Amino acid sequence: MTDRSSAAFVVFDHVQKSYDGETIVVADLNLAIEKGEFVTMLGPSGSGKTTCLMMLAGFESATKGDIFLDGKSINNIPPHKRGIGMVFQNYALFPHMSVAENLAFPLEVRGMNKAERKEKVDRALEMVRMGGFGGRRPAQLSGGQQQRVAVARSLVFDAELVLMDEPLGALDKNLREEMQYEIKHLHESLEMTVVYVTHDQGEALTMSDRIAVFDDGRIQQLDSPTKLYEEPATAFVAQFIGENNRLLGKIESRNGDNVIVDVGGTRIDAVAVNCGETGDRTQLSIRPERIAIGDSRDNVVPAVVRELIYHGDHIRCRLEVLGSDEFVVKVPNNVGARVPNVDEATEVSWDTADCRALDSGTVEQGQDPQ
């Protein structure tokens, strides 16, 4: 069974998926989701996240293992009998039906009477701030309005579990961010369980209670957004979640929870997270915002500024550091903040606690996950 209670609302128990009997798309998935949680499956294309969602919805069947919903196996239950709401990226609205008719359709299929259908449709439209749009056709709505209707349709029959497959992928940046907050607020107010699929790390960090980071058909790490960003367990997760500086070196010595790593002749103190023993190669992971220009932190190394980009709230400095010319420091755009000039020699520094030693083999295998 999974590492969480078998009484969890959704449980993947040793689930495997192969389409041809040879290539494994999902490998031995064990995942438990509590009632009321917002869990995001995050990963690059081909990592297995959407396949997992489709198996939960019933549109794909597991090759091995069991999927449980509220304590009952749903492997042999057809999609329309699982009572699960579904939101797709392309909205999947019937163009010949009005908004209200689109929402009423799944209720009619379930045999609900007309008065009750109207009551539920009106309530669902109010939830997504589309109360006055019931008579319009999908073609008369903007992309954001159509997505609100698609969300309302997933809620209309009081589904306790809602699955969302890249639902905001077709929206522009501002609308996408607005819808992220709306969906999160709906989740909180309705206390529904949401399983969300995306390849957008920012979206996952904004909305989720927990995030399952997928790569090559397996969960690489399952944690809260804060833990994933602050404490990545593997080099793949460090690279995939947020911007990350990496330096490759060799472990010189270990001292309890810390290691000293030789990077091109420079000794760097780091936290030993998922690395080998003395003499093994490792990757050092340091977030750009945890690095200072100057020598105010534990580890101090020489640097040369190669590029400065203005981002409003911060200046993005690209520097040459220990043989890497893609080393990034984010300098807050505060009064008095010192930003060196391009081609200026300087120093950068960071604290040992912000530098994590990870398995270098993992990152070489999935070096550029996007």
Count the neighbouring beta carbons within 10 Å of the beta carbon of residue 274.
17
The whole-angstrom separation of Cα 307 and Cα 51 is: 41
CB 153 within 8 A of CB 102: yes
- The CA-atom distances, in angstroms, between 305 and each of 165, 185, 329 are 42, 43, 10
Rounded to whole angstroms, the Cα distance separating 5 from 31 reads 10
Asked if 51 and 17 touch (Cβ cutoff 8 Å), the reply is: yes
Output helix, strand, coil percentages for the chain, rounded to the nearest 5.
Answer: 30, 35, 35
Please name the residues in contact with 266: beta carbons below 8 A apart, sequence gap of 6 or more. Answer: 301, 322
Q: 148 near 68, Cβ under 8 Å?
A: no
pLDDT of residue 287: 96
pLDDT in tens, the chain (370 residues): 444 445 799 999 999 999 988 899 999 999 999 999 999 999 999 999 999 999 999 999 999 999 999 999 999 999 988 989 988 877 788 999 999 999 998 888 888 899 999 999 999 898 888 888 999 999 999 888 888 898 888 888 888 899 999 888 878 888 888 889 988 988 998 889 999 999 999 999 999 999 999 999 999 999 999 999 999 999 999 999 989 999 999 999 998 899 999 999 999 999 999 888 899 999 999 999 999 998 889 999 999 999 999 999 999 999 999 989 999 999 998 877 788 899 999 999 999 999 999 986 543 333 333 2
Give the count of alpha carbons within 13 A of 78, CB side only. Answer: 2
- Residue 290: CB atoms within 10 A of its CB come to 16
- Cα dihedral 21, 26, 27, 33 sign: negative
Q: How many CB atoms lie within 10 A of CB 174?
A: 9
Identity (one letter) of the amino acid at 288?
P
Domains, the chain, with CATH or none = 10-230 (3.40.50.300), 242-365 (2.40.50.140)
Q: What angle do CA 2, 221, 255 make, to 5 degrees?
A: 110
In this structure, are residues 220 and 233 in contact, taking their beta carbons and an 8 Å threshold? yes
| CA angle, 77 then 148 then 241, to 5° | 80
